Amino acid sequence: MVELDHQGEIIWQDCYGGSNWELGLDIMQEDGGYTFFSHSRSNDYDVSGNHGYGETADYWLAHIDEMGVLEWQNCYGGSEGEGARQFYKTANNGYVLIGSSSSDDGDVSYHHGSWGGDVWVVVLDSNRNILWEHSYGGMNNNSPSRNSIAQRGEMDFVIGALTHEDEGYDSDIDCTPYPVEDEESIWLFRIYDPTLGAYTNAYEYHTLSAYPNPTAEQVFLELPNHSKHLNIQILDVFGKQITSLKASPQQTQIIWDCSNIAAGIYFYQSEINGVLYRGKIVVQ
C-alpha cells in the first residue's frame, strides 16, 4: 500500500499480509483511514482466521488508519477457496462483499458446481458479522471478473459472469439459447436487497403465468386476486424500466404489447399482496 502526494512523492508505504500470498482488489477511504478487500492464502502475521489453513484463499477484509497501521481484519470463506472482486459500504456501516467461491463449508452454505467458482455474495453488519450469504451459479465455473459488477442501489447489483453451457439441474442460469456448442457466453443477472425481513433468503419470489413466452407481438400476464391498483414494471437485463403496466383492483389479466420492442430478455416485476412477483419474458 502506497500513498502519494499531488506531486507523486511517497507519503508513506507499507505491506500487509502473511507468509503465503495476497492480492488486493478493491479499496475505499473511510473512518480516517482505508478499508481494502482482497483474497489471502495466509494464516499468519496480519492474517488470521483463514478457512483454507493456508492452502486456499479466503476473502480478506482489512482496515488501516491514516498512517497505515492495521486496525482490524477478517477472513470469510471455506476450505476450497474464494476470490475477492468488489465490496461496498451499506447504510448501517456494514459491507457487501462480492466475488467467487468454490467452497460448501465454513462460511459458505452451498456450492452448485462440480468444478470452478460460484458467484458468492456476503452481507456483513457493522461488526463485520455475516448477516446473509448466497451462492449463484451452475455446474461449471461462473466466477465474475473484477469489472463486471454494477451497483444500482445500496443493495441492488447487476453482475456479469461466464457460463459454459445452458445449465439445467441445480442451476440458477437460464440463458437459452446461449451458449452455443458449449462455448462461453456472458451470464448477466440482477440481485435485490437480501436483508429484508429476518435475513432469510429474500430472493425467493413468485411468478405469474406469462404466455406466449417467447413472443414477438404481445404477452398475457395472469394476475392473482388483489384489491388494490397494481403497477407491473417491465425491465431490461440492466434493470432499466422499459414500461409500466397498470392494473385495476380485481383485474385478472394484463397485456404487454412488445411488438415494437427490440428482441432480447426482459423481466416483469410487481409487489402484489405483499409478495414479490418476478419472471422472464423473451422477445423474439
> Would you say residue 167 has pLDDT above 70?
no
> Would you say residue 25 has pLDDT above 90?
yes
Which of 131, 146, 161 is at the close of a domain?
A: 146
Return all residues near 67 (Cβ < 8 A) that are at least 6 apart.
12
Residue 171 in any domain: the answer is: no
Distance between CA atoms of residues 230 and 252, nearest Å: 11
Clarify whether residues 140 and 255 are in a common domain: no
User: What is the mean pLDDT of the segment spanning 84-110?
Assistant: 93
Clarify whether residues 241 and 140 are in a common domain: no
Q: How far are the Cα atoms of 72, 176, 231, 247, 250 from residue 254, in angstroms, in the given order?
A: 54, 26, 11, 7, 11
pLDDT in tens, 181-212: 667 788 888 887 644 433 333 345 689 999 99
Distance between CA atoms of residues 38 and 61, nearest Å: 6
Q: How far are the Cα atoms of 147, 224, 252 from residue 15, in angstroms, in the given order?
A: 25, 58, 63
Residue 277: give its domain's CATH number.
2.60.40.1220
Bond into 144 cis (ω within 30): no
Residue 55 in any domain: the answer is: yes
Residue 42 in any domain: the answer is: yes
Q: Count CB neighbours of 106 within 10 A.
A: 19
Clarify whether residues 98 and 234 are in a common domain: no
DSSP, res 200: S
Per-residue model confidence (pLDDT) at position 96:
94
Question: Grid coordinates representing 216?
Answer: 414477438
Range of the domain at 270: 210-283
> Would you say residue 138 has pLDDT above 90?
no
Per-residue model confidence (pLDDT) at position 202:
39
Q: 179 pLDDT band (50/70/90 cuts)?
A: low
Q: 92 pLDDT band (50/70/90 cuts)?
A: confident
Between 85 and 193, whose confidence is greater? 85
Per-residue model confidence (pLDDT) at position 157:
87
Return all residues near 183 (Cβ < 8 A) that are at least 6 apart.
164
Per-residue model confidence (pLDDT) at position 196:
42
Amino acid at 25: L
Per-residue model confidence (pLDDT) at position 229:
94
Name the β-bridge partners of 283.
Answer: 215, 264
Residue 179 in any domain: the answer is: no
pLDDT in tens, 37-80: 999 999 999 999 999 877 899 999 999 998 899 999 999 999 99
Per-residue model confidence (pLDDT) at position 18:
95
Which of 146, 161, 182 is at the close of a domain?
A: 146
Bond into 212 cis (ω within 30): yes
Return all residues near 110 (Cβ < 8 A) that are at least 6 apart.
104, 134, 135
Clarify whether residues 140 and 222 are in a common domain: no
Mean pLDDT of the chain: 87
pLDDT in tens, 217-274: 999 999 999 999 999 999 887 778 899 999 999 999 999 999 999 998 898 989 898 8
Q: Count CB neighbours of 145 within 10 A.
A: 12
Between 141 and 231, whose confidence is greater? 231
Clarify whether residues 115 and 216 are in a common domain: no
Clarify whether residues 129 and 22 are in a common domain: yes
Clarify whether residues 138 and 239 are in a common domain: no
Residue 198 in any domain: the answer is: no
Which of 96, 117, 146 is at the close of a domain?
A: 146
Clarify whether residues 136 and 215 are in a common domain: no
Residue 56 in any domain: the answer is: yes
154 within 8 A of 148, measured Cβ to Cβ? no
Residue 228 in any domain: the answer is: yes
Per-residue model confidence (pLDDT) at position 175:
73
Question: Total domain count for the chain?
Answer: 2
Q: Cα angle vertex 38, ends 46, 61, to 5°?
A: 60
Distance between CA atoms of residues 40 and 23, nearest Å: 7
Residue 188 in any domain: the answer is: no
Clarify whether residues 137 and 262 are in a common domain: no
Clarify whether residues 141 and 7 are in a common domain: yes
Q: What percent of the chain has pLDDT over 70?
A: 89
Clarify whether residues 10 and 126 are in a common domain: yes
Clarify whether residues 20 and 100 are in a common domain: yes
